[in-house]
Chain A
Amino acid sequence: MTATQVLERDTLDSVAARIRSHVVDMCAGPEGGHLGGAFSCADVLAALYFSVLNVDPQRPDDPDRDRFLLSKGHAAVGLYATLAERGFFPVEELTGYGRPGSRLMGHPVRAVPGVEMPTGSLGHGLALGCGFALAARYAGRDARSFVLLGDGELQEGSVWEAAIAAASLRLDRLVAVVDRNGLQLTGSTEGIAPMEPLADRWRSFGWAVRDVDGHDPSQLADHLGATPWEPGKPSVLIARTVKGQGLPFLAGRSASHYVTLSPRNHARAVRALRATEATG
């Protein structure tokens, strides 16, 4: 089933809501999870997997597929929820997350259908994406490569090594998305290592840049679907997001970074998501 067919019975907003709902359930498991960063990028993931990416769960190894890498691998719970919703594996499997015997580890592993490469140590994804994009060019394929980066992750120097390479090689089928939620484990990114003016930084490295609301999946899909924005340049979408978006008691707080939801807080979270859905 193509993404368009999937969406005939759905909307990107409702997909994002279901991703968040799965994440809440997973974070109520024994190990908890990186809820905040999974919530901030849920709309990006919905836009990519249900509108933009040319992927087919029935043919995960199709050489012509678009490739996606979650460079901020700690948001694995968000990726697992997205891949399950998109049909790469049964949604029921999500209940095994973090439990002994499950393949759903705390960071993405290749054993999970739809995961291109294991990630988790920060600063690796963009170089891998450059490799994907370069190989696709050599093979004469139109496939695009998408890499989702955390904004804290931009503190890793290897990100900028890859940013230099992508621009110098004119990899215009490479698209980076920065989940700009402004928070990392112990506080604000700007308090710890200021990164603004972020768009200018990327621009100065030779990238085409757009700076948008990261919680409007339709708009995100429009932008990401239209890449490359400038011929010969890689594209970076700075998605302005809120960590823990949609959960009033966690949104915008660095405490949402890693959460193990107690039964009480799980119930609170489920109620909050229902309320958001009802009003949204």
Chain B
Amino acid sequence: MSRATREAYRDSLLPLLKQHPELMCLDSDTGLFNAEYAATAGDQYLNLGIAEHNLMGMAAGMAACGRVPFVNTMAAFATSRALEAIKIDIAYNRLPVRIMATHGGLAAGHLGPTHQALEDLAVMRVLPGMTVVVPADAAATEAFVEQSLNLSGPLYVRLGRKPSPPLPAAPPPVIGQAQTLRQGGDVVLASCGPYPVLACLAAADVLAGQGIEATVLNMHTLRPFDAETLVAAARPASLVVTLEEHWRSGGLGGAVTETLAEAAPTRVLRLGMPDQFVDEVGNQEHLVAHYDLTAERVVKTVRTALDTAARSGRPDREVVTT
């Protein structure tokens, strides 16, 4: 059943607040938490208003005094407007603040580029000590919220907005461990987030029908990055393709290319948002299709690369522009 990852977060937090009095839910008037929720959470829930820098600073101050705050804001505001407070007050002090960032990627849809976050993963994954996760569905969100209780440092969780489909049955996701959703020896498809992971699974089905076997990795944790699983999958493969709802620089594709450049001589093609701001109205599904972050695109990319390599006897060096 389709369910929004941000709602899964909200619903999983309340029982945890009851069990763990040190947890706090600090909100920035996001509307995710209604009056009934606030009443149930008692004084562990606070709406601090539309002031994201102050939100991060107060969370850091409380965390320095033994509290564990979950802070709620949109990904765009967390990682752009409040970035300095996250860097200095939270990350520098290695404090256990949980930044729960909704409207990640293109999830803000028709709300437009001010509310879309296509740079957040690049920004967050360079901060020392920051754990960065992108749950691909509601169940993974619940798992990560629960597992955050065992993290001593800061955490960034990229959430969606509207309901998104569940992943097919897979081993339970664990922060820091890439999920291998499918095994295949020819190519590796690596992605994170609801639509990209589903697109890679669908692409793998199509490719299998054409005699190309793909390993599909859900790289839901961008930091700490599971280089071991990635390198093991990539070493025997002739090609790695990454797909993400993020500008092509600095996000998952960035993490994969950095890792493989150092550890395995496998070609990587990065698929993501083209180098532009969204310029038309559309919900998330529409924008994902419009900017071609799709299974068809993955299939085409793999086929073109392999065909060219077969014809020329060497890997295709043509730059893929998206």
Contact = CB atoms under 8 A, between A and B. Distances in A.
Interface string A111-140: 000001110010110111111111110110
Contact of B65 (A124, A127, A131, A165): A131
A190 interface: no
Interface residues of A, number: 29
Size bracket of the B interface: 20 to 34
Interface string A173-195: 00000000000000000000000
B59 interface: yes
B64 A132 contact: yes
B53 interface: yes
Given A110-B93, A118-B93, A139-B66, A158 B61 contact: no
Contacts of A255: none
Contacts of A124: 57, 84-85, 88-89
A70 to B, nearest CB: 14
Nearest to A125: B57
Contacts of A213: none
Nearest to A143: B65
Contact of A128 (B49, B60, B66): B60
Given A110-B93, A124-B88, A164-B51, A117 B64 contact: yes
A63 B67 CA distance: 13
A132 B60 CA distance: 9
A132 to B, nearest CB: 5
B67 A135 contact: yes
Which 10 interchain pairs have the tightest Cβ spacing?
A131-B61, A127-B57, A135-B65, A161-B54, A161-B51, A128-B61, A131-B58, A131-B62, A158-B53, A135-B62
B111 interface: no
A220 interface: no
Nearest to B52: A161
Contact of B88 (A118, A131, A135, A138): A118
B67 A121 contact: no
